[in-house]
């Protein structure tokens, strides 16, 4: 079988924050892909503003480097399971993977998730033990953990014969020896060339090109990124696009791009094994196959894991609607959600009976909150409901998504964590104490039990705990109450501006969420009650001005700092009868029914119906 020895196609996979993107930076720099005087910023592959701020990769990116006389195509993939849809498609484009594992943390839930996907595609692995320069690095134990994980996931004998490279991506060094580092990453480059199989060269056969990612450009429209699996593709060629619904469309290839470094370069021809971007087809989608008109043979459709979480998106109808956003109408919001579907294959948007309401489903809270954050930054104004897990009927049994949770905590907090996870119907799988006072706990927990758990977990462990979780499987629904918020809320009964005096009057009733001078409206949530019921409060109250001086006038009164929530915290905090109002400038929590007496009537009606 003929192969193209001048090319290697690899994906870099790892748990979030184990150093994938930093490793790609070093490979780009050391391969001589950039000019000597070219300015390259850190984590150059994370191009999106939110990726830069949070230090996470959201969208898979591709790049290529030249090493000696070989071209290495590299796919940098996200570590979060919420973006697993990206990881699964990338596995189809490559022949091998670099599994990056932190030399201190070892195998984490997403390490398991991404490796499972790679082994299912029968890809050749190379293990990179990164951050070897960290204090308390334990490379030997981490390699043992990786071997156990491979065996646990049913790897075959060939896959178990993986090479291990020890690296420090931040310092740009690597070696085959855990004890000492070489001055550069040559050993990693050489291992990639020797270990990863070269693509099969069947460029004489009829063309097959499959789209695995989408991009959009104002000048050329939709761009399909993917791999040429066989044959040759040329600019100007008339080809057939095999659609997912079985129909066939013809189009002409107007432009083709290859990748090198961070740039796309126009090319005239691509052969089997090349990763390229193609423009000229307006309606191309992920998973569709491009082939010759006279030889229409589609590749198998890419399977993407279904969404596990859904939220209701609504047009903002609060008293402050339209004040801060640029796009507030249902038409604009619908257009934006539909355009997101063009590039995000893991997302689903369903219409409802109302033209102002949509059900949006995704792979997790982070997946949906990134979409909401992007919309806010673009000037959209909307409301969302509490995230809910998607219940499925599997063989006549109501089943819910289960998450595999891994928790690292100091020993003294293990009891509290185990108790709180138990209340959320979690089942313990494993507990390891590595002797340094840190304990690693593994659980299987219903996904709905984890909604809103992070805040409770951080206060339980005084901020020292680390929690990671990823989707495991669907299982029969746990009975009874699972998770949910225990505390009631403080709800404003007036519209106006919050005052320092008003806030101080109710401070002892709970935790306040707003600062003095914030505009509030009736029905808006302004704090958390210390008890489990909701309480209506007036924090717009001003102090009566009189000309009588009080005896305690000179005593200084200090006000507690309000708890200002991030977008994720606000979404997690929501209850069934609440919305989160989102505008480019504000995140507000509110009751669905703003008027106090109407809310009480509705509550009575609900209790009667429940009887």
> What is the rounded average pLDDT of the residues 589-598?
91
Burial 76-85 (b: 16+ CB within 10 A, else e): bbbbbbbbbb
**Would you say 15 is a known binding-site residue?**
no
> What is the rounded average pLDDT of the residues 433-455?
81
CA distances from 108 to 18, 113, 185, 247, 360 (A): 10, 9, 25, 43, 29
Max mean pLDDT among 5-9, 70-74, 334-338 falls in 334-338
User: Both tokens of residue 469?
Assistant: 């979780």
Can you give the pLDDT at residue 238? 87
**Would you say 131 is a known binding-site residue?**
yes
User: Both tokens of residue 14?
Assistant: 């790892």
Question: How does pLDDT run across 241-258, given as a tens digit for each residue?
Answer: 888 777 888 888 888 888
- In whole numbers, what is the pLDDT of the chain averaged over residues? 81
Answer whether residue 52 shows pLDDT above 60: no
Question: Can you say whether residue 59 is alpha, beta or left, with left for phi > 0 and alpha for psi between -120 and 50 degrees?
Answer: beta
Question: How does pLDDT run across 315-358, given as a tens digit for each residue?
Answer: 999 999 989 989 899 999 999 998 888 777 778 899 999 999 99
Can you give the pLDDT at residue 39? 44
| Integer Cα distance of 332 and 536 in angstroms | 35
Can you give the pLDDT at residue 40? 43
User: Both tokens of residue 237?
Assistant: 């060629």
> What is the rounded average pLDDT of the residues 536-565?
74
**Would you say 117 is a known binding-site residue?**
no
Can you give the pLDDT at residue 92? 80
> What is the rounded average pLDDT of the residues 510-514?
90
| Integer Cα distance of 100 and 12 in angstroms | 7
> What is the rounded average pLDDT of the residues 390-398?
88
Can you give the pLDDT at residue 546? 66
More confident residue, 129 or 483: 129
How much of the chain exceeds pLDDT 70, in percent?
A: 87
**Would you say 254 is a known binding-site residue?**
no
**Would you say 147 is a known binding-site residue?**
no
- Domains of the chain, CATH where assigned: 7-195 (3.40.50.300), 208-292 (2.40.30.10), 392-476 (3.30.70.240)
User: Residue 55: which pLDDT band, with cuts at 50, 70 and 90?
Assistant: very low
Closest CA to 590 of 499, 511, 494, 525: 525
**Is the distance from CB of 106 to CB of 141 less than 8 angstroms?**
yes
| Integer Cα distance of 212 and 214 in angstroms | 7
**Would you say 558 is a known binding-site residue?**
no
User: Residue 86: which pLDDT band, with cuts at 50, 70 and 90?
Assistant: low
| Integer Cα distance of 461 and 470 in angstroms | 21
**Would you say 547 is a known binding-site residue?**
no
CB atoms within 10 A of CB 608: 8
Can you give the pLDDT at residue 356? 92
Can you give the pLDDT at residue 522? 92
CA distances from 427 to 176, 431, 444, 528 (A): 39, 12, 5, 30
Residue 152 DSSP SS3? helix
Answer whether residue 542 shows pLDDT above 90: no
| Integer Cα distance of 224 and 389 in angstroms | 32
- φ and ψ at 408, to 5 degrees? -115, 120
Beta bridge partners, 548, equal none
Answer whether residue 142 shows pLDDT above 60: yes
**Would you say 132 is a known binding-site residue?**
yes
**Is the distance from CB of 527 to CB of 491 less than 8 angstroms?**
no
Answer whether residue 194 shows pLDDT above 80: yes
| Integer Cα distance of 374 and 369 in angstroms | 9
Tell me the whole-structure pTM to 2 decimals. 0.75
The alpha-helical segments, DSSP class H, found in 164-315 are 186-195
Answer whether residue 45 shows pLDDT above 50: no
Question: How does pLDDT run across 256-291, given as a tens digit for each residue?
Answer: 888 777 677 888 888 888 888 888 777 777 778 888
Q: What single string gives the DSSP state of each residue in 391-405? A: PEEETTEEEEEEEEE
Can you give the pLDDT at residue 2? 79
> What is the rounded average pLDDT of the residues 468-491?
80
**Would you say 575 is a known binding-site residue?**
no
Residues 6+ apart with CB under 8 A from 176: 163, 164, 165, 166, 187, 191
**Is the distance from CB of 336 to CB of 327 less than 8 angstroms?**
yes
**Would you say 234 is a known binding-site residue?**
no
Can you give the pLDDT at residue 36? 42
Residues 6+ apart with CB under 8 A from 546: none
Q: Which residue has the tokens 């404003």?
A: 492
Question: How does pLDDT run across 421-442, given as a tens digit for each residue?
Answer: 888 888 898 888 866 778 888 8
**Is the distance from CB of 44 to CB of 30 less than 8 angstroms?**
no
CB atoms within 10 A of CB 369: 23
Can you give the pLDDT at residue 47? 42
Can you give the pLDDT at residue 491? 93
């Amino acid at each position: 079988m003929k192969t193209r020895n001048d090319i290697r196609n690899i994906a870099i996979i790892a748990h979030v924050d184990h150093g994938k993107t930093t490793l790609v930076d070093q490979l780009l720099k050391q391969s001589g892909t950039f000019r000597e005087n070219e300015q390259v910023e850190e984590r150059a592959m994370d191009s999106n503003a939110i990726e830069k701020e949070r230090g996470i990769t959201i969208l898979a990116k591709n790049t290529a480097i030249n090493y000696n006389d070989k071209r290495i195509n590299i796919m940098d993939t996200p570590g979060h399971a919420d973006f697993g849809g990206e990881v699964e498609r990338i596995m189809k484009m490559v022949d091998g993977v670099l599994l990056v594992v932190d030399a201190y943390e070892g195998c984490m839930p997403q390490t398991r998730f991404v490796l499972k996907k790679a082994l299912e595609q029968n890809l050749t692995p190379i293990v990179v033990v990164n951050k070897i320069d960290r204090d308390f690095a334990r490379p030997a134990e981490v390699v043992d953990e990786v071997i156990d994980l491979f065996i646990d996931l049913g790897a075959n004998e060939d896959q178990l014969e993986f090479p291990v490279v020890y690296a420090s991506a931040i310092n740009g060094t690597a070696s085959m020896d855990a004890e000492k580092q070489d001055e550069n990453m040559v050993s990693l480059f050489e291992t990639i060339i020797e270990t990863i199989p070269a693509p099969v060269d069947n460029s004489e056969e009829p063309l097959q090109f499959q789209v695995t990612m989408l991009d959009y450009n104002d000048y050329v429209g939709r761009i399909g990124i993917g791999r040429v699996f066989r044959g040759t593709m040329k600019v100007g060629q008339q080809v057939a696009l095999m659609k997912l619904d079985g129909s066939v469309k013809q189009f002409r290839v107007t432009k083709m791009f290859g990748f090198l470094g961070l740039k796309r370069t126009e090319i005239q021809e691509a052969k089997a094994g090349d990763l390229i971007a193609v423009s000229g087809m307006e309606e191309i989608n992920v998973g569709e196959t491009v082939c010759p008109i006279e030889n229409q043979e589609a590749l198998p459709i890419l399977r993407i894991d279904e969404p596990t979480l859904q939220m209701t998106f609504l047009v903002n109808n609060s008293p402050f609607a339209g004040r801060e956003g640029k796009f507030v109408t249902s038409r604009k919001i619908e257009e934006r959600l539909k355009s997101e579907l063009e590039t995000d294959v893991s997302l689903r948007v369903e219409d409802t009976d109302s033209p102002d309401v949509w059900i949006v489903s995704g792979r997790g809270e982070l997946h949906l909150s990134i979409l909401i954050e992007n919309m806010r930054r673009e000037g959209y104004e909307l409301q969302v409901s509490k995230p809910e897990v998607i219940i499925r009927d599997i063989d006549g049994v109501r089943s819910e998504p289960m998450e595999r949770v891994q928790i690292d905590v100091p020993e003294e907090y293990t009891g509290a964590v185990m108790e709180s996870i138990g209340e959320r119907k979690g089942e313990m799988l494993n507990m390891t104490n590595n002797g340094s006072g840190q304990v690693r706990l593994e659980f299987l927990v219903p996904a709905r039990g984890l909604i809103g758990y992070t805040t409770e977990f951080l206060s339980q462990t005084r901020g020292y705990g680390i929690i990671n979780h990823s989707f495991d499987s669907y299982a029969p629904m746990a009975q009874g109450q699972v998770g949910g918020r225990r505390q009631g809320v403080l709800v404003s009964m007036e519209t106006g501006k919050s005052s320092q005096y008003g806030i101080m009057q109710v401070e002892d009733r709970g935790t306040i969420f707003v600062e003095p001078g914030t505009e509030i409206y009736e029905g808006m949530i302004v704090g958390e009650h210390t008890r489990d019921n909701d309480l209506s409060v007036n924090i717009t109250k001003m102090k009566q001005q009189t000309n009588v001086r009080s005896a305690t006038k000179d005593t200084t009164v200090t006000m507690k700092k309000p708890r200002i929530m991030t977008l994720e915290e606000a979404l997690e905090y929501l209850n069934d009868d609440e919305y989160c109002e989102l505008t480019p400038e504000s995140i507000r929590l509110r009751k669905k029914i703003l008027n106090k007496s109407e809310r009480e009537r509705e509550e009575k009606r609900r209790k009667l119906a429940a009887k």
